[in-house]
A and B are shown apart, each in its own frame.
Chain A
Amino acid sequence: MKSKTLTLTAILALGGAAAFAEEVRVYNWSDYIDEALLEKFEAETGLDLIYDVFDSNEVLETKMLAGGSGYDVVVPSGTFLQRQITAGAFQKLDMSKLPNIVNMWDVVTKRTEQYDPDNAYSINYMWGTTGIGVNVGKVKEVLGEDAPINSLDLVFKPENMEKLAECGVHFLDAPAEMIPMALKYLGEDPDSHDPDVIARAEDVFMPVRPYIQKFHSSEYINALANGDICVAVGWSGDILQARDRAAEADNGVEIAYHAPKEGAQMWFDQMAIPVDAPNPDNAHKFLNFIMDAQNAAAASNYVYYANGNKASQEYLAEDVIGDPAIYPDQETLDNLFTTTPFEPKVQRVVTRLWTKIKSGT
């Protein structure tokens, strides 16, 4: 927020000068790119790249639906993308400006079609799963050698959570992912839009709620890596980044990620161009740059998320392409589920339930 205000003030201060500078404004998730790539883009194109970050789909959607966000490229996840396309927030991509589109991977594009028919408005940036990150040493110390670190029992069974509370547990502050996860745990359809079924998620969260230190969607990367917390329900690549940071710091913290064996949500973060983007041409240049095989590989090698770029796979590091937590094998892939966007009425039920879960009222 702060950095954005500063940028805006700077733009206002520069006034006319800003109008002449060729630029592209990208709004992406936090901790989601190799910054060397941003420099490379500026060097290759001579454009000024203004790069801001967010950590919640909800905040992005508010900006998109308000209109006039001033961004040229934004990165909503599948269901949010679908809603925003319906609202008329994005412009169709001009494929003639995107020669690198041939690099894309049909396994992913087939799945993203359910959110963006014909992939007319978006390209895949990264995809991953929502699961559980653990500090292996601490969790085994608290729960014993046979701690269920690959199961939702770890975070949804009150007796486990009661013990884990002493070493710290974070949950994502993302109702659109946490509620389907709880429904899956109950054996319900995780993509249910029936308010009565959704309400049952409350029974899963309320007993473990007192043991959750914080609901937050980005702090857990550092908290896990530093050893401040021992369990985080979070996004695959973020937890793998925490693993990497802990290994770099050599602080004795060993982090592992598991997609829960009960089934995990698979999500897709899609790059799209707002309908009122000030520099749509430059936005296309940015998308094309990201779809370059080597650039996509560099991004994945840095953030530990799988990308939707088939051609990039030969440039991927072995600990990325070879890690089933990032590029799952067929068996895991079959166990993943996707969700569809809630209708406004159901959305209200979901958010109200989430407020109740977070605040207790």
Chain B
Amino acid sequence: MRRLVLIAVPYLWLLALFLVPFAIVLKISLSDTALSIPPYAPTLDFSAGWEGIRSFFAELDFDNFVWLTQDDLYWKAYLSSLSIALVSTAITLLVGYPIAYGMARAPEEWRPTLMMLVILPFWTSFLIRVYAWMGILSSEGFLNQLLLWVGIVDEPLTILNTNTAVYIGIVYTYLPFMILPIYAALDRLDGSLIEAAEDLGCSRLTAFWLVTIPLSRNGIVAGCFLVFIPALGEFVIPSLLGGSGTLMIGKVLWEEFFSNRDWPVASAVAVVLLLILVIPIVLFQRNQQKQAEADQ
């Protein structure tokens, strides 16, 4: 009995916080827009009994998903989001790994302070930190003033309202999510393994490549997913730092909701986005499982 309750809790959690909202979104994605409150039809009418439910299901269709394939805006936005998310995940990894490595190698008594420094930015609202980047990156901003003063550039660089600014924003915002899991993996790493590798004739670099990286693989994978998944659907960063040419699916979703006021198509976009995300998550899960089996 206790076992049953223990299993039921996470499933209830999944049902209440994921499956039910998803079912609602899916239902809206199958309806049509209407000038009413709420702005779509049909709505489920329980008072009409069984007949009402039947006619409700009869009216649902996949037109909105067909529409997504007919306009090139959507797949372009998905592709561009995927590439922005992939590139920024790669940059975050390149920047985050050395930081995590340095933290794990730092003297024991420094580590809590270093950890604190990584977490510290979370004390300020995410929105304010992104706004701060607008001040730094604008043509009259700190960065350009510094570059002009040092003499590296002759005229201000246009960074704000470009994709470069979006990359900077994403890498900056999600860096802690990359550092923390990698640090956790490296922290557990047994130092004597590297000593053994070196005793057996590995150079430090080879030892790092053959021992440290494979043993921190779990941390790397976890970090990459923690960055990639939210970056793919990112809305705030591209809308504040990106230009009108920055095409991301989060922005398209916003436009469908607020400019077109077309909830069904917006829901269809969200459903497809979720499917795109579910694939890497499933791969991740399988990877974790394999790892667990290999460990046993």
Contacts and interface: CB of A to CB of B under 8 A. Distances in A.
Interface string A91-120: 000000000000000000000000000000
Interface residues on B, range: 20 to 34
Nearest to B127: A2
Contacts of B247: 359, 361
Interface in A306-349: 344, 347-348
Nearest to B39: A65
A56 B258 CA distance: 9
Contacts of A355: 73, 252, 255, 259
B56 interface: no
Given A58-B258, A62-B261, A65-B261, A352 B38 contact: no
B76 interface: yes
A7 B261 CA distance: 25
B35 A83 contact: yes
| Interface SS, A side | helix
A39 B38 CA distance: 35
A83 B36 CA distance: 9
A138 to B, nearest CB: 17
Interface in B1-58: 33, 35-39
**Interface class of chain B by DSSP:** loop
Q: Which of A358, A359, A360 has the most CB atoms of chain B within a 10 A radius of its CB?
A: A359
Contacts of A361: 72-73, 76, 247
A360 B261 CA distance: 21
Contact of B37 (A58, A59, A65, A359): A65
A137 interface: no
B159 to A, nearest CB: 14
A251 to B, nearest CB: 15
A348 B38 contact: no
B38 A67 contact: yes
A58 B260 CA distance: 8
B16 to A, nearest CB: 20
A70 interface: no
Given A359-B244, A361-B73, A351 B35 contact: no
Given A355-B73, A361-B73, A361-B76, A348 B260 contact: yes
A62 B259 CA distance: 8
Contact of A58 (B39, B72, B246, B259): B259
A87 B245 contact: no
A88 B38 CA distance: 10
B71 interface: yes
Give the interface size class of chain A: 20 to 34
Nearest to B72: A361
B40 to A, nearest CB: 9
A351 B260 CA distance: 6
B258 A86 contact: no
A87 B76 contact: no
A200 interface: no
A100 to B, nearest CB: 30
Contact of B244 (A64, A65, A215, A275): A215
A52 interface: no
A89 interface: yes
A66 interface: yes
A215 B244 CA distance: 8
Given A2-B127, A348-B262, A361-B72, A87 B39 contact: yes
Interface in B70-97: 71-73, 76
Given A352-B71, A355-B73, A359-B244, A344 B258 contact: no
B35 A344 contact: yes
A285 interface: no
A347 B260 contact: yes
A89 B259 contact: no
A323 B215 CA distance: 75
Interface string B76-120: 100000000000000000000000000000000000000000000
A89 B261 CA distance: 15
Nearest to B251: A359
Interface in B123-175: 127, 161
A361 B244 CA distance: 10
A214 interface: yes
Contacts of B245: 359-360
B225 interface: no
Given A352-B73, A355-B255, A359-B247, A87 B261 contact: no
Contacts of A211: none
Given A352-B71, A359-B247, A87 B36 contact: yes
For the complex of A and B, the 5 pairs showing the least CB-CB separation, nearest first, are A65-B39, A67-B37, A351-B260, A87-B35, A358-B244
15 contacts: A56-B258, A59-B258, A65-B37, A65-B39, A66-B38, A86-B35, A87-B35, A347-B260, A348-B262, A351-B255, A351-B259, A351-B260, A355-B73, A359-B244, A359-B247
Given A65-B35, A359-B244, 11 more contacts: A56-B258, A65-B38, A65-B39, A65-B261, A88-B37, A89-B37, A214-B161, A344-B35, A347-B261, A355-B252, A358-B244
Interface of A: 2, 56, 58-59, 61-62, 64-67, 83, 86-89, 175, 214-215, 275, 344, 347-348, 351-352, 354-356, 358-361
